[in-house]
Amino acid sequence: MNCLEFRRKLLIEPRSRDKEFADHASSCPECAGEAEQAHRFEDRLHAALDVPRPVGLESRIISARSGATERGLSGFGSRWLALAAGTLLAIGLAGWMGYKWEHYFGVPSGLEMAVVNHINDELDHLHVDQDARPENLEFLLSQFGAGIEGDIGRVSFVTRCNIGRRSGVHMVVPGQQGPITVLIMPGEYLMQPRQVRSSRFSGVIVPTVYGSMAVVGEKLEPVEKVVEKMRRTIIWDV
């Protein structure tokens, strides 16, 4: 295994037990250092993922799904039910394929893919420095039933935009290795946190009362402090 193969595998499976992977790390100090950095990042990320599930999350997800089902079924006959069943089958297969692709190639799927794609499509936002005023940020968040309590810190960019299937808030805050993107995504419910990882970015998506929040920075950026700050200062009207 050469250095390029090692680092590709490190990105996909940082704690691989593959013998060639371990042998290369033991014989290449530079790659061993990269692996140590990756392991430290994984540990910090797991700590950030260990967050309490928002109160009432299950009931909100069930309510959202039930409402969507009732709206989708009203006025439709068996022909449309068959079409819906076929669509669900296609979605299931697509989800399974997405899992396989992610499992074997380290490519994010589903909401993770939407987050990475959105950040890649809006890379110019990372370099904007408008120093958003707290009252402007709070007004924008209020449109989604959220607000600010305490000092959120410096926000270099904020806007309302479409993230995946829904509208949300796109923020950029400073990090240690570069700008960190924070995406507030109402309606995108998660039962558990999810990791986000691409060739350039890494971070996490965590559940919130009314959806989820993504915090993503450059690879190996310690995002857990930003996750904690955002969870503490962005409050929801519950």
Q: Structural domain boundaries of the chain? A: 3-46, 107-236
Class of domain 107-236 (CATH, top level):
alpha beta
pLDDT tens, position by position, 68-91: 555 554 544 545 445 554 544 444
The pTM (predicted TM-score) of the whole model is: 0.60
For residue 4, the model assigns a pLDDT of 80
CA separation for the pair 205, 45 (Å, rounded): 11
For residue 60, what pLDDT band results from cuts at 50, 70 and 90? low
pLDDT tens, position by position, 160-208: 988 877 889 999 999 998 999 999 998 888 878 888 888 899 999 988 8
CA separation for the pair 188, 207 (Å, rounded): 9
User: What are residue 143's phi and psi, to 5 degrees?
Assistant: -70, -15
User: What are residue 62's phi and psi, to 5 degrees?
Assistant: -60, -40
Residue 94 has pLDDT above 50, yes or no: no
Residue 220 near residue 177, CB atoms below 8 Å: yes
- Lowest mean per-residue pLDDT among 11-15, 16-20, 123-127, 138-142: 11-15
Q: Where are the alpha helices (DSSP H) in 74-166?
A: 78-105, 111-121, 134-142
For residue 58, what pLDDT band results from cuts at 50, 70 and 90? low
For residue 6, what pLDDT band results from cuts at 50, 70 and 90? confident
For residue 92, the model assigns a pLDDT of 47
For residue 65, the model assigns a pLDDT of 55
Strand partners, 205: 194, 214
In order of 127, 144, 175, 231, the CA distances from 179 in angstroms are: 8, 24, 5, 18
For residue 99, the model assigns a pLDDT of 39
Radius of gyration of the chain (CA): 20
For residue 66, the model assigns a pLDDT of 57
For residue 44, the model assigns a pLDDT of 66
For residue 213, what pLDDT band results from cuts at 50, 70 and 90? very high
CA separation for the pair 87, 110 (Å, rounded): 16
Better pLDDT: 136 or 39: 136
Residue 206 near residue 123, CB atoms below 8 Å: no
For residue 49, what pLDDT band results from cuts at 50, 70 and 90? low
Residue 10 has pLDDT above 90, yes or no: no
CA separation for the pair 157, 151 (Å, rounded): 16
In order of 71, 122, 190, 230, the CA distances from 115 in angstroms are: 27, 11, 14, 17
For residue 61, what pLDDT band results from cuts at 50, 70 and 90? low
Paired tokens of 22: 């371990």
Return left, alpha or beta for 220; rule: phi > 0 is left, psi -120 to 50 is alpha, else beta: left
